[in-house]
Chains A and B, each alone.
Chain A
Amino acid sequence: MAHAAVRSEVNITVNDKLVRVTAGTTVASALLNLGISSFRHSVSGEPRAPLCGMGVCFECRVTIDSRAHQRSCLVPVAEGMKVVTASDA
């Protein structure tokens, strides 16, 4: 399988800020690379971030394109995607 030398990028908005991220990465990885440490708040208000990385723990949930409770570790970034973190997601 060919190993792409240069990875392309896509534009997404994270909390209303436009950012360029590497195509093919997951939303969770993109958010971590942007230095975001709080993806959501737990029911008692603690900041939370990805734990299991594979869609089992639900800690990485963010709102993507207005759908709440999306597991960001399972969703690849796409052009024009709108991501909102640290809400009730």
Chain B
Amino acid sequence: MARNPDAVVIGAGIVGAACADALARDGMRVLVLDESFAGSGTTAAGMGHLVVMDDSPPQLALTAYSTRLWERLAHELPQNVEHEPSGTLWVAEDDDQLGAVYEKQRVYAEHGVAADVLSPAEVARAEPYLRPGLAGALHVPGDAVIYPPNGARALMARAAGNGASLREGVRVDAIGAREVIAGSERISCEYVINAAGAQVPRLTPGVPIVPRKGHLVITDRYPGFCHHQLVELGYLTSAHTMTTESVAFNVQPRATGQLLIGSSRELVGWDASINRAIVRKMLDRALDFMPALSSTSTIRTWTGFRPATPDKLPLIGPWDATPGLWIAAGHEGLGITTSLGTGQLLADLLAGRDTAIDAAPFSPARLHAGVGAH
């Protein structure tokens, strides 16, 4: 890049890539820096679901907005992004949960998100391998699944089409006022976007993002075993409560026919090793809902770190302590889903435009109690 970039985006994960895409579309000169390669961090570890979630009204607004953006983009995505409009079934185990399902449907409807309630017989027809005796499910047809590393690459490619450039293998050492320092290089710019996910605090101390570890297991190919993304209602509780550890049933069919089995949450710092006890609990929970998984062949297990914030909402906006610094991070388990919404909100805020949804709940200032020394 001959002249200085207008914006430097730190992190070429799905969120960084979406920000670069949106800013480049606005005509900004964008430079993206990634310490490894695009889509290699938390993005590579995630399930890739595009899902509407209603833990809180702002979360519902952001996920609904963002899934609609994905729907519009779907037909343009390259084949290797493997966009599958599989929809989600939120599974209810008993009548109490069924009540929650009806409530969820109502809330989704208020946000224009289509969802229908399935009876036990309809659930069994939709997903024959779910155990009998369930109370029903909420079917959300607009939800989908992508393959995240290639999703990040696709967004970076779009950004590049609008003049953005990507430098991989570059580790940023510090963020200054309207500048980024990497090794002996000082890159001056108007805006720095810290989209480094769970690593944001390394460069911007004081940002309350912590790594929330998750495990996943993937099986060999079993085409036709599962058609929708399947989630238990308890997933919301697991995601919401910052306890030491929790597991929740979440199975996703990949385009390949492989089954991705999750989910788990732990706060153990940056220890990436596989925790066998948690994997067992997670698999046991999955077997509760889909006993037939028992004989499926598992090929791989891995861990990833979700960037988690105290109020479960991401940071999208300026970080007042440093001139020119913006944060786009803290999406916990919804990074893939909300990447597009995040990118667009960021671009709108930077340009001073009205945002499609209220951006105040995501303002970093809400968490930056007291501007000043850091």
A–B direct contact (CB < 8 Å): yes
**What is A's interface to B at a CB cutoff of 8 Å?**
43, 67-69, 88
Pairwise interchain contact A43-B297, C-beta atoms closer than 8 A: no
Contact pattern, B 77-117, Cβ under 8 Å of A = 1, otherwise 0: 00000000000000000000000000000000000000000
Q: Are B221 and A88 in contact (CB under 8 A)?
A: yes
Contact A88 B220 (CB under 8 A): no
Residue contacts A-B, CB under 8 angstroms, 9 given: A43-B221, A43-B256, A67-B295, A68-B222, A69-B220, A69-B297, A88-B221, A88-B223, A88-B257
Q: Which residues of A contact B221 (CB under 8 A)?
A: 43, 88
CA distance A68 to B296 in the complex (A): 9
The secondary-structure label for the interface of chain A is strand
Task: Give the distance in Å from the alpha carbon of A30 to the alpha carbon of B223 in the complex.
Answer: 28
Quote the shortest CB–CB distance from B186 to chain A (angstroms).
Answer: 48
Query: Once bound together, how far apart are the Cα atoms of A88 and B224, in whole Å?
Result: 11
Contact string, B212-226, partner A, CB cutoff 8 A, digits 1/0? 000000001111000
Chain A residues in 8 Å Cβ range of B257:
88
7 more A-B residue pairs beyond the given contacts A88-B221, A88-B257, with a C-beta to C-beta distance below 8 A = A43-B221, A43-B256, A67-B295, A68-B222, A69-B220, A69-B297, A88-B223
Shortest CB-to-CB span from B165 to chain A, Å, is 34
Residue of chain B at shortest CB distance from A67: B295
Query: Please, how many angstroms separate the alpha-carbon atoms of A88 and B225 in the complex?
Result: 13
Nearest-Cβ distance from residue B193 to partner chain A, whole angstroms? 38
> Given the complex of chains A and B, what is the CA–CA distance between A67 and B297 in angstroms?
10
Cβ of A19 to closest chain B Cβ, rounded Å: 27
Interface string of B194-233 (1 = CB under 8 A from A): 0000000000000000000000000011110000000000
Bound CA–CA A68/B219 (angstroms): 12
A43 to B257, CA, bound (A): 11
Q: Which residues of A contact B222 (CB under 8 A)?
A: 68
- Alpha-carbon distance A69/B225, docked complex (angstroms): 15
Q: In the docked arrangement, what's the CA distance between A67 and B292, Å?
A: 12
Complex: A48 Cα to B257 Cα, angstroms: 19
The distance in angstroms between the C-alpha atoms of A67 and B295, with both chains bound, is 8
Minimum Cβ distance to chain B for residue A74 (Å):
14
CA distance A68 to B257 in the complex (A): 13
Give residues 280-306 of B contacting A (CB, 8 Å): 295, 297
What residue in chain B is nearest A88 (Cβ atoms)? B223
| A43 to B297 alpha-carbon distance, docked (Å) | 17
- In angstroms, Cα B223 to Cα A21, docked, is 32
Distance between Cα atoms of A43 and B295 in the complex (Å): 21
User: In the complex, what distance in Å separates the CA atom of A68 from the CA atom of B223?
Assistant: 12
Chain B: CB-nearest residue to A66: B295
